[in-house]
Structure 1
Amino acid sequence: MLQVTTLRNERERVLEGLRKRGLDAAADVDRVVELDDRRKELQSRTEDLLAERNSLSREIGDLFKSGRKEEATAKRERVNEIKEATGPLEEQLDATVRELEEALLQLPNVPDHRVPAGATAEDNEVYRPHAGELPKPGAEARPHWELADTYGIFDLELGVRTTGSGFPVFTGQGARLQRALVNFFLDRNTAAGYTEYAPPLLVNEDTARATGQLPDKEGQMYYVQADDLYLIPTAEVPLTNLYRGELLDADALPVKLTGYTPCFRREAGSYGAHVRGLNRVHQFDKVEIVQLARPEESYAKLDEMVDHVAGLLEELGLPYRVLRLCGGDMGFTSAMTYDFEVWSAAQERWLEVSSVSNFETYQSNRLKLRYRTDRGTELLHTLNGSALALPRIIAALLENNQTEDGILLPEKLHGYVGKERLLPVR
């Protein structure tokens, strides 16, 4: 969440940035400052009374020791008055702190000055246009949901039978391809200096709140009521929280983490070809990369992560482009986000396969994640990116590489899959 000092000292910059999201947040920012003023006043009054009580308690002890019981009794009455006064004050203070935190939780992150203003995907900026010609498999090209049956890649009906719509079952060559992609991405990430983790798939409320999934995306998360736990929507959540509450040495930075997990999202349902097959599912596999960086280095690290994801797509031979998201299309917690889209030849449209974001101090303020500097301690910047999400990667690989002799696999995957092409099974 945003820091109160930022809202106080950089009010106009904050308001200008939030306007890029289409928000007029002046009243909300002012309310936070007012609540913080009240918190300070209540805290000061409470601390003054507690200091007086402690001082009187010491005096009372000395008076009793010296036999001056009447004076001690008089001061004890004042101690009792203070106790009666501090109780309500502490209750007001606790209520104000809770109200302040809830008000801060409702404010999204401030976009970086380079983020374009806008409300929808139409306002996103093409940051890196695609290079070269897009693949044209021909008029007979089939979408991946048709190829899936011929090649035994995944079965949507089995998923409906066992769970419900949006839960595909990968079979045979498809299961092998999915496992190959996970291993390929993890190997490339660890070669780039990321340490691999296998985190839990369920997290508690504090963890989901620390990275900003709560309260913003509560409706999109699967909740296990009996255990008060949430299924993760992305490995970003548990990976980043591994460092919650930590105070790191500067020479340990940047911290680079990667992990593979299934991801679970209760996305709003819609219909049409754009959500058929693997285009939108409720459970999917994804490999994530996370960095914890010094503030002055974080945008260089963001560029590094963008280049890394681009390299993965180039190794897979997938045409892609990079968008810089506008304020209104960006995630609640992000200060800047780049989306990667790959070309789907049979569907003749771009499919999002990765988001790479810098959250600046928005997450670390919730995480209480700091590092030591010559000036004391400061909040770190957190970053994350998909490297990569599998469903639409698989969709594009199938559609773009279909031939009369099977589906050709990228050379980089031959050793992982154990073959050069996928052959029909029906």
Structure 2
Amino acid sequence: MDAIDVIVTKRDGRELSTAQIDWVIDAYTRGVVADEQMSALAMAILLNGMTRREIAEWTQAMIRSGTRMDWSGLPGRTTDKHSTGGVGDKITLPLAPLVAACGGYVPQLSGRGLGHTGGTLDKLESIPGWRASLSSEEMLGVLREAGAVICAAGEGLAPADKKLYALRDVTGTVEAIPLIASSIMSKKIAEGTGALVLDVKVGSGAFMKTVDRARELATTMVELGTDAGVNTVALLTAMDRPLGRAVGNALEVTESVEVLAGGGPEDVVELTVRLAREMLQAAGLDGGKDPEQALKDGSAMDAWRRMISAQGGDPDAALPRAAETMEVVAPATGVLTRLDAYGVGLAAWRLGAGRERKEDPVSFGAGIMLHARPGDAVREGQRLMTLHADETARFDRALAALDGAYAIGEAGEVDLLPLVIDRIRA
């Protein structure tokens, strides 16, 4: 095989053969294919696309570049969820123990935040003692004990994806749907779960800004999961406004615990319950306890406490708090007609809740508490949000990000996406 032949095939709009795909993924992982050659191929894929067969075989080749996890030793069925990310998207935290409380086993491999979107591991690491890095044996132990585990993916899981992901980030090829879908699904299929629910976010705070693009991505990923033998379903959900009222690591943990205690914001509860039901149904476990009941009777909270404790965390420990706060108040009386997810996420990032580079630290206490949601009536001078940061110097840049991110007008001007926009199956 020759890298140039593979590049030219896709450059000219032709299909890559199975042999070409297997060779180029393996050769790139081993360093035989250079970064500049894979960059050219990624750009050709962005411009010319891939067929369903090509994407499926590309995904399988990336899975074969590393190890595949096996949960067949568990005394029950596994089911997992993946979100494409957004602002205030803490759903994984209450969702994993909730599904465990209803009889599922949830092996959840999660990531860290980058830019304006938060990372599940960053949120959980705000809990004193909690560990994100677990061996396969430790993961199995936590699953047996708590029914759910949330941790970092090991180095051996789809290493080809890790290498290609970094390359796409610096070559303008991040938006290629075949590469996005295969990146996500190679890791999720290698994770070994029997069923998978995808939460594909839509709106300003999401990677996919339009419903059409989100539907294309969701359909592609559902097909990949189905072709790999994983029962897969996708929901398109709103990210034109933040999810819940808390944006930031420890703030979102606190809100997640409120949900597990039977409270919490209505949208977070609704989406958590809907996704839990989808996960249980996909795994064939929807005949048991209903998630709504598990939130009310305390069993979901019990599963959360077991999960956190099993990973070294103290579920009763006080969470970090930022040293400084600032109030943002309504400039006029009326209705909050818009609260832009991207603007709020960018502000939280500038307050210290996120990172610019993967190696940067985060401030666990930094973030934003929202006191009003789109559609709420507000009075001039009323608190709209509270900014949390460790240094007052961060407030000016956060306020700049919020400039134009919210608007006050009349009730008829509120125009929001439905929380759940669509459901997609193969």
TM value normalised by structure 2: 0.20
TM value normalised by structure 1: 0.20
Query: Between Structure 1 and Structure 2, which shows a larger proportion of strand residues?
Result: 1
Greater CA radius of gyration, 1 or 2?
A: 1
